[in-house]
Amino acid sequence: MSIQTRTHVKAAEATNPQAAAAPAAKMVARDVKVFYGAKQALKGINIDILENKVLALIGPSGCGKSTFLRCLNRMNDTIDNCRVEGLISLDGEDVYGRRIDAVQLRARVGMVFQKPNPFPKSIYDNIVYGPRIHGLASHRDEMDEIVETSLKRAGLWNEVKDRLREPGTGLSGGQQQRLCIARAIAVSPEVILMDEPCSALDPIATAHIEELIDELRENYTIVIVTHNMQQAARVSQKTAFFHLGDMVECDDTEEIFTNPRDERTQGYITGRYG
């Protein structure tokens, strides 16, 4: 199945050079099933994650949206009894394939978590940690440059440029989260996964992150899990609604929030789903 999809994608690119004009799928999930031991958490998910778009995953707690997010960069590998079936591909390549190294994959598909989790190191070292272990930079001036561009992209540079040697944990919550985004960007990922990146932040810090997400979209493909409907509506172009391990509906964000097709989606986003 994985091979078929791969050739299919390649063939489409070869026969249609204008395909770049239409939104291309950066990542594709086909019939993705996840089991934690005997318990099935995802029941066959199919989604195309479009390049340079923000996809929001919404749904009640336990619906499988975070599980799905974690499949995309194989974060579930670290969970003992977790089994993933089906195909997830990045640029047409099966991310669970033998040729893929999970650590390399996570450099291409970065992640930002719910609680800002900077390393207990300086702001500077937080940023260069990834590039250093991935061998992306070795010289001092290369690293300086990565630190500056990453912090600038994360909209944090002006606030911290004079105190790069101070610990990252000394920043405010919102700044810490932007530091984590800068850290994710530093290894030049193609896709950024965000698991409720603003749930621990105040409205101003949230607005900064949302503004940032909109800017990052130019260069990256973003998947965000959020419990905040308004946030999903504000930042994403596509929204997928998950429910009890199924993906109920995935459509343009505008459609989902004005005229959802499925009763369950309607019930959830209007606060009727109990």
263 scored as a contact of another protein (CB under 8 A): yes
The residue (of 96 and 268) whose beta carbon lies closer to another protein is 268
DSSP class of residue 97 equals S
CA pair distance 230, 226, nearest whole angstrom: 9
What one-letter code names the amino acid at 120?
Answer: P
138 scored as a contact of another protein (CB under 8 A): no
**CB 115 → another protein: shortest distance, Å?**
25
For residue 190, which of 218, 163, 166 has the smallest C-alpha distance? 218
**CB 268 → another protein: shortest distance, Å?**
9
Among 3, 145, 230, 252, binds another protein (CB under 8 A): 230
266 scored as a contact of another protein (CB under 8 A): yes
The residue (of 18 and 258) whose beta carbon lies closer to another protein is 258
Q: Are 50 and 25 in contact (CB under 8 A)?
A: yes
Question: What is the total count of residues that contact another protein (CB under 8 A)?
Answer: 18
65 scored as a contact of another protein (CB under 8 A): no
Tokens for 33, please give them: 């099933």
37 scored as a contact of another protein (CB under 8 A): no
The residue (of 73 and 265) whose beta carbon lies closer to another protein is 265
DSSP class of residue 122 equals B
Q: In terms of C-beta density within 10 A (0-12 exposed, 13-18 middle, 19 or more buried), how is residue 36 classed?
A: middle
**CB 243 → another protein: shortest distance, Å?**
10
CB atoms within 10 A of CB 180: 24
> What is the number of alpha carbons within 13 Å of residue 114 lying toward its C-beta?
9
CB atoms within 10 A of CB 24: 17
What's the angle, vertex CA 23, arms to CA 46 and CA 269, rounded to 5? 55
Mask for 210-229, x = binds another protein (CB under 8 A): -------------------x
**CB 100 → another protein: shortest distance, Å?**
39
269 scored as a contact of another protein (CB under 8 A): yes
Among 44, 60, 167, 267, binds another protein (CB under 8 A): 267
- Give the residues lining the site for another protein (CB under 8 A): 229-230, 233, 257-260, 263-267, 269-274
